[in-house]
Amino acid sequence: MQDHRPATPRARILMCAPEHFEVRYSINPWMHPDQWSSRRDELTGRSRDGWSMLRHTLERLGAAIELVPPQPALPDMVFTANAAVALDGTVLVASFRHAERQGETAHFRRAFEQLAARGLVRQVVDMPPGLCLEGAGDCVHDRGREMFFLGHGFRSDKAAAPLVAELFGEAVVPLELVDARFYHMDTCLNPLAGGEVMWVPCAFSAQGQGQLREIVGTDRLIEVPMEDAAKLACNSVNLDRDIVLAEASSRLKSMLAERGYQVHEVPIRSFGLSGGSAWCLVLRLDRPSLRGTATALLGAEAGSLAAAGD
């Protein structure tokens, strides 16, 4: 069969196979180890099949997938979004709040160093001691507005905002998360390629809701219906006009279709038992800022002129 995927990928994404994924502890309201253990074989099979279908869907949509090896004592390594904040080739490695996940950092850092050796990452930076920031789970980039939205209150520290701003050269808007179900920013806010932002209002403080309405504009905020928010529909992967998620109601699909987006559903609901979904299962390695894209284009143009001069 002929492969119609583009030679240049639409995105380069880091994933980790769910070989050791399970709910063995509880660090958010979604996690109930007893419920997992009572259906272990069934849920393990569903997780592996669903993850494979997610990978296949992303590859079909033009993404290139890089893999980090899973580790037996770290079941949540599958959620690679939490591994780092990545922009313009710079990777800021995560620092985790809970002891259950802190062992992931060294493995992810080693993976990023290997990616750097291959030229897929430009530099790898560590968080300073005593400061928590759980990667793209809490530090969500809005390329069109040239800013990060940083969630704090459960997992990440508001004090990380100046570090992110200085390192990446983008504005950072800290927003307090107040509903424990939406413990990471990526569970309740998702900037889309067209400038719209999917969100779950109850996840934010009144002040945060006001900030988002002011920054984004009420006409560009897409409020995710609670029936979808409860299935982590906001935790979706957006590649241009394609949105990949676990499940969406007809109402949410219509809302997105009206804005020009196509929804792709994949059977990854079992990861919701650990509080994660599509966004959590990927980390975009090649995410560009507008500034970075402009610099790359200028560099390419200069290279073309130099070649022409030769």
202 is catalytic: no
Q: Which of 141, 152, 184, 264 is catalytic?
A: 184
Q: Which of 132, 188, 234, 280 is catalytic?
A: 280
4 is catalytic: no
What secondary structure, in 3-state letters, does the chain show? CCCCCCCCCCEEEEECCCCCCCCCCCCCCCCCHHHHHHCHHHHHHHHHHHHHHHHHHHHHCCEEEEECCCCCCCHHHHCHHHHEEEECCEEEECECCCHHHHCHHHHHHHHHHHHHHCCCCCEEECCCCCCCECHHHCEEEECCCCEEEEEECCCCCHHHHHHHHHHHCCEEEEEEECCHHHCCHHHCEEECCCCCEEECHHHECHHHHHHHHHHHCHHHEEECCHHHHCCCCCCCEEECCEEEECCCCHHHHHHHHHCCCEEEECCCHHHHHHCCCCHHHCEECCCCCHHHHHHHHHHHHHHHHHHHHC
Residues taking part in catalysis = 184, 280
